Amino acid sequence: MESSSSIKDKTKFVPGNVQNLVLFRKFEDFIIYFEPKVEKFPHYEHFALEADIKNCLHRTMELIIRTNRSSRKVEGWYKIDTEFEILRFYIRFAYSKGSKYLSLHSYETACKMMTELGRILGGLIKQGNQ
């Protein structure tokens, strides 16, 4: 059995480690929540909307990781912001009257999570532009 001090050592802050980045952790939570919802889309959407959303999720996470390692962070944060906007479109479309692949609860939860992510990213951009 591990002692509590060795557990704390594994979770301690390490500079440059992407897991220290709040945006990374929050977006990871969003993927864990949202990807199973997307996988429940109708089968005929498997290679269309479902694939587009999953690709956007993975591309965004990749950008978060790359930006954390980059010396040009503000540029990377703007790219992430663009991916967030695309993802917001997909979420709205998946809930729209024509498709309604998401329940109201899933839609509202996804929107709240994306709003929080947007605030975190906006703060990073504002801080980086000063």
Q: How many domains does one find in the chain? A: 1
4 — pLDDT class (breaks 50, 70, 90) = very low
What's the rounded Cα separation, in Å, for the pair 45 and 101? Answer: 10
User: What's the Cα-to-Cα distance from 27 to each of 42, 43, 98, 118, rounded to whole Å?
Assistant: 25, 26, 28, 10
* Position 72 in a domain: yes
pLDDT at residue 20 in the model: 56
- CATH number of the domain to which 67 belongs: 1.20.1440.60
* Position 8 in a domain: no
Statement: residue 23 has pLDDT above 70 = yes
Statement: residue 18 has pLDDT above 80 = no
**Gap between the terminal Cα atoms of the chain:** 47
Q: Does the global pTM surpass 0.75?
A: yes
DSSP string of 76-92, one letter each residue: HHHHHHHHHHHHHHHHH
Q: Which class for 4: exposed (0-12), middle (13-18), buried (19 or more C-beta within 10 A)? A: exposed
